[in-house]
Amino acid sequence: MKTRVVITGMGAISPIGNSVADFSSALRAGKSGIGTITSFDTTGFDVTIAGEVKDFNPSLWIDKKDARKMARFSQFAAAAATQALEQAGLLKDGEEGRRTLSVNPERAGIVLGNGIGGFEIVSESFRKLFDAGPRRMLPLTVPLMIGNEAAGNLSMIFGVKGPSYTQVTACASGTDALGQALDLIRSGRCDMAISGGTEACIVPFSIGGFQMLKALSSKRCHEPEKASRPFDADRDGFVLGEGAGIVILESEEHAKARGAKILAEFAGYGATSDAYHITAPEPSGEGGGRAITLALEDAGMKGEEIHYYNAHGTGTEINDPTETKMIKYAFGDYAYKLKVSSTKSMTGHCVAGGGGLEAIACILAINEGFFPPTINLENPDPQCDLDYVPLKAREGRIDAAASGSLGFGGHNGVVVFRRYS
């Protein structure tokens, strides 16, 4: 019999709010976090918009000295993890005013998803290298830029002494990290884990690179809040976002023994590979559809038991109709009764951070009884003929929800959460 795994804490840093409460309020209100890029001069770029995290002050959650030794993606992860651990009641006062885990640190683990690492550090160090030579590079270039450092920093900040991993499967990284953390607890290797995804890559290099792929929306830079349009016939690409979504996983036994408030059960995970193309999903939707099916099987659930599906929903020409096929592959005729939405319409595509934030959206939907909307869905694509909760959130009871993420390279990951009883 599988060990039951539950969620006891959540933390969010996002383009629509730097707390779970603000994130939830924005989802309900259909608030867009997309705006004109402020972090660099976009002169010469076709794309001048993104979903930036706003008013972020890492010292609200972590020590200033620690923050100075972190790239932005690590700061996001540390801030969101602090929120999640606080909600879970897993922090105690330690030496020198630091707060550390209040449970056995050797039985605690970390699994984070990250796609790109400290891209602003890479960009700045390359600039200094080319302009002034290697002696002018940032001294901490390597430890700041590498993708595993978010997990490493969390380990050091909170004194986590169990396994500490980083999952890299492009845009599926955050979701796959959650799945790996689920397996870590089910295997008995850990009693609890900090998991989710984090990303901060709104820099000239990444905007330019995605722009050259023709993947980013460029037609609505004059009205950025309208640019992210998943499943809409007038979509023209995704909008890059940033942020972190972190949750606390525990075995049911561990959570109940310490009297924790349980937010949801983490019921299942499924993952597949398309084996098809480096950037495009397999056209039939079979690969992603199998990931959904495997997640349902892992949860011991039927498709009809899922009330809400948070889609990858990027707003690209290829993704949206293909993902619609994936959902139909897994759910059959029930797909037409299922509520589906893309919260990327509000946050933009936060790469690895998206998987964590979208899992939190599912858990909020279960606990607060609302279906997050797909804003800007004004002219539905005939190929995308499901109920995508257009424009406005809806109230309703949700007993189980799933979230899917698709990554360059053909990575497909799906997680399932259900009301805890």
Tell me the C-alpha distance between 50 and 238, whole Å: 9
Domain 5-257 part of CATH 3.90.650.10: no
- Cα–Cα distances in Å, from 345 out to 322, 376, 389? 17, 7, 12
Query: Is 201 a known active-site residue?
Result: no
Torsion on CA atoms 219, 200, 16, 292, rounded to nearest 10:
90
pLDDT at position 35 is 98
What is the bridge-based pairing of β-strands 35-36 and 49-50? antiparallel
**Which is the catalytic residue, given 254, 307, 349, 411?**
349
Question: Which residue stretches of 189-251 are H helix?
Answer: 204-212
CA–CA separation, 70 vs 18, rounded Å? 18
- What is the domain partition of the chain in residue ranges? 5-257, 267-418
What pLDDT score was predicted for residue 391? 97
What residue ranges of the chain have pLDDT lower than 70?
A: none
Residue 92 confidence (pLDDT): 92
Q: Which of 307, 312, 384, 411 is catalytic?
A: 312
**288 neighbors 281 (Cβ within 8 angstroms):** yes
Token pair 């997050």 is found at 372
**SS (HEC) of 147-215:** CCHHHHHHHHHHCCCCCEEEECECECHHHHHHHHHHHHHHCCCCCEEEEEEEECCCCHHHHHHHHHCCC
**Is 0.95 topped by the overall pTM?**
yes
The residue with tokens 């936060």 is 350
- Asked if 384 contacts 231 with a C-beta cutoff of 8 angstroms, the reply is yes
- Give the separation between CA 331 and CA 335, rounded to whole angstroms: 5
pLDDT reported for residue 159: 95
Distance CA 187, CA 177 (A): 15
Burial class of residue 206 (count of CB atoms within 10 Å of its CB; 0-12, 13-18, 19+): buried
DSSP element (H, E) containing 113: strand 108-113
Same fold? 5-257, 267-418:
yes
Q: For the domain with range 267-418, which CATH number is right: 3.30.70.2750, 3.40.47.10, 3.40.50.2300, 3.40.50.300?
A: 3.40.47.10
**Could you tell me which of 399, 341, 390 has the C-alpha nearest to residue 369?**
399
Tokens 């996002």, located at residue: 14
Q: Residue 252 class from Cβ within 10 Å (0-12 exposed, 13-18 middle, 19+ buried)?
A: middle
- Catalytic, 222? Answer no
pLDDT score of 141: 86
Give the pLDDT confidence score for residue 214 in this predicted structure. Answer: 93
pLDDT of residue 93: 87
> How far is the C-alpha of 312 from the C-alpha of 415, rounded, in Å?
12
